[in-house]
Amino acid sequence: MSTRLLALGASAAIVFAACGGGASAAPTTAPTSAASAAASGTPAPSAAAAFKACLVTDTGGLGDKGFNDNALKGLQDAKKAGYATEIKNLESKKDADYTSNIDALVADNCQSITTVGFNMGDATKAGAAANKDVAFSIVDNAYDPPIANVTGIVFATEQAGMLAGYLAAGVSATGKIGTYGGLPIPPVTAFMDGLWAGIKYYNQENGKNVTLLGYDPSKPKGGVLATAGNPWGDTDFGNQQANAFFQEGVDIVVPVAGGTGIGSFTAAKQAQAAGKKVYAIGVDTDQYITAPGFESVILTSIQKIIDKAVADTIHLAQQGTKGGTNYVGTLANGGVGIAPFHNLANLVPAALQTGLDALKGKISAGTVKVADYLK
């Protein structure tokens, strides 16, 4: 009898204590009005005005090592750099969470809200329309026409692509690079334009004749494309296309087609096992990290550097730019770049690295333009 009462009593006491403590703690931990929020914010050194930056990740969730994780890193970097005095992030588990999370962050007095990816395009637009005093930004999306309080975070991937093209041309033993896209749309062809330009620049500089198979900027819709039904996830196509390239003597393949590219990485790995010296270049994120298992294959990746872009956009919001324009990640501002060579660093001789650095400097300074190398 006593044990039973004790057990019940103890557990009840803990639960009641939990509620009780919460009630008394609540006024200090969760101010209910903006006024008290400001009041509790003031004890911090008031050198910079309080700025609350917030983030909503998409249903891909944290732990994706890609867009969501990098966006969160950007948010944390913004706080470290002093652009934001307070940061908050909410994860979305389903579509219905997008609107709900934006509403919750607005109610929590966030001054800037960053969302991730096209999935949140409509929810971000609606949130921005309903809360005109909040600075919104959205990763890898843009609106036409632009919205006064939304910054579309987009990337000049052709600049990083040009570096990758130059690198590939320098590394390739056969002088043939192969690429294919998911769809003939600008977000995809930008990568391939960059490759073309980089290879052309390398050829002019070194008097070589490296060629790009699968894409020609004069016919952007005529390149090699993944299957129309499933452009971003058809690993079979990715595998076959890479093997077709290898047959033609290509030794570096650059898939610009999301998950389809994994099929090409697999093909390259199989070809390596058969003794061929073939490699691949990733896109969007550092795929050495995001696509584990292909460390021997991935030479580099044409990267959108989300964390840098997110931190920069928060900085802009803190300085008073609510939106109405796009933030374009470039080589100059560090918003795009090529990933480290990791295991394959020995393929890149010092001379090639010097050339790469020089090209990077010229693109950043604007003396070399991708568009000039597309003819």
Partner 1 sequence: MSRLPTVSANMVWAVLGLIAAVVMVVQKLYIALAVFALLILAIAATRRTVRGRAFTDRLKLPVLALLSAFLVGGIVLILSDLEFYSKLSANPLGTLEASFGRVVVAYWELLKGAFGDIPKISTALASGDRNKIGIAFRPMSETLLATTPLILTGLGVAIAFRSGVFNIGAEGQLKIGAVFGAWVGIWIPLPFPFGLILAIAAGVLGGALWAFIPGILKAKTGAHEVITTIMLNAIAQQIMLALLLTPILRPEGSTTPISWPILEASQLPLLLALPKLRVHWGLILALVAAVGTSWLMFRTTRGFEFRAAGLNPRAAGYAGMRAGRTIVLAMTVSGALAGLAGAVEVLGTNRYLSPGISPGYGWDAISIALLGGTRPLGVVIAAFLFGALRAGGQGMALATGVPIDLLGFISALVIMFVAAPRLVRELYRVRISSAAPQTPKVVETPV
* Binding flag, residue 186, partner 1 (CB under 8 A): no
What distances in angstroms separate CA 151 from CA 37, 125, 168, one per listed residue?
27, 11, 34
* Binding flag, residue 349, partner 1 (CB under 8 A): no
Q: What is the DSSP letter of 93?
A: S
CB of 1 to partner 1, least distance (A): 5
How far, in Å, CA of 158 to CA of 337, rounded?
10
CB of 275 to partner 1, least distance (A): 37
Residues 6+ away with beta carbon under 8 Å from 122 = none
Residues 6+ away with beta carbon under 8 Å from 285 = 65, 66, 67, 70, 301, 303, 304
* Strand ranges (E), the chain: 52-56, 86-90, 112-116, 135-139, 150-155, 176-181, 211-213, 252-256, 279-284, 298-304, 326-329, 336-338
Query: According to CB under 8 A, which one of 32, 42, 218, 319 is a site residue for partner 1?
Result: 32
Residue with tokens 């909040």: 134
Query: According to CB under 8 A, which one of 101, 124, 243, 303 is a site residue for partner 1?
Result: 101
# residues contacting partner 1 (CB under 8 A): 54
Indicate if the alpha-carbon torsion angle 197, 198, 199, 201 is positive or negative.
positive
Residues 6+ away with beta carbon under 8 Å from 319 = none
* Binding flag, residue 39, partner 1 (CB under 8 A): no
* Binding flag, residue 34, partner 1 (CB under 8 A): no
CB of 226 to partner 1, least distance (A): 12
**Closer of 72 and 254 to partner 1 (Cβ):** 72
Residues 6+ away with beta carbon under 8 Å from 351 = none
**Closer of 8 and 358 to partner 1 (Cβ):** 8
Instruction: Report the site for partner 1 in 225-244 (rule: CB under 8 A).
Output: 229-230
Instruction: Assess contact for 75 and 105: CB atoms under 8 A.
Output: no
**Closer of 122 and 372 to partner 1 (Cβ):** 122
CB of 282 to partner 1, least distance (A): 20
Stretch that binds partner 1, among 116-124, 324-332, 354-362, 366-374 (CB under 8 A): 116-124
* Binding flag, residue 295, partner 1 (CB under 8 A): no
* Binding flag, residue 129, partner 1 (CB under 8 A): no
How far, in Å, CA of 156 to CA of 161, rounded?
9
Stretch that binds partner 1, among 118-126, 300-308, 324-332, 353-361 (CB under 8 A): 118-126
* Binding flag, residue 37, partner 1 (CB under 8 A): no
Query: According to CB under 8 A, which one of 72, 105, 212, 317 is a site residue for partner 1?
Result: 105
CB of 258 to partner 1, least distance (A): 11
Instruction: Assess contact for 152 and 138: CB atoms under 8 A.
Output: yes
Instruction: Report the site for partner 1 in 355-374 (rule: CB under 8 A).
Output: none
* Binding flag, residue 48, partner 1 (CB under 8 A): no
* Binding flag, residue 20, partner 1 (CB under 8 A): yes
Query: According to CB under 8 A, which one of 44, 81, 82, 95 is a site residue for partner 1?
Result: 95
Instruction: Assess contact for 345 and 300: CB atoms under 8 A.
Output: no
Q: What region does 235 belong to: left with phi over 0, alpha with psi -120 to 50, or beta?
A: alpha
Calculated CA dihedral for residues 364, 369, 370, 375, nearest 10 degrees: -170
CB of 22 to partner 1, least distance (A): 3
**Closer of 93 and 132 to partner 1 (Cβ):** 93
* Binding flag, residue 47, partner 1 (CB under 8 A): no
List strands edge to edge, sheet with 176-181: 211-213, 176-181, 252-256, 279-284, 298-304, 336-338
CB of 175 to partner 1, least distance (A): 33
Residues 6+ away with beta carbon under 8 Å from 108 = 52, 54, 88
* Binding flag, residue 35, partner 1 (CB under 8 A): no
How far, in Å, CA of 85 to CA of 368, rounded?
39
By CB under 8 A, name the binding residues for partner 1: 1, 3-5, 7-9, 11-26, 29-30, 32-33, 58-59, 88, 90-97, 99-101, 103-105, 107-108, 118-119, 122, 130, 183, 185, 229-230
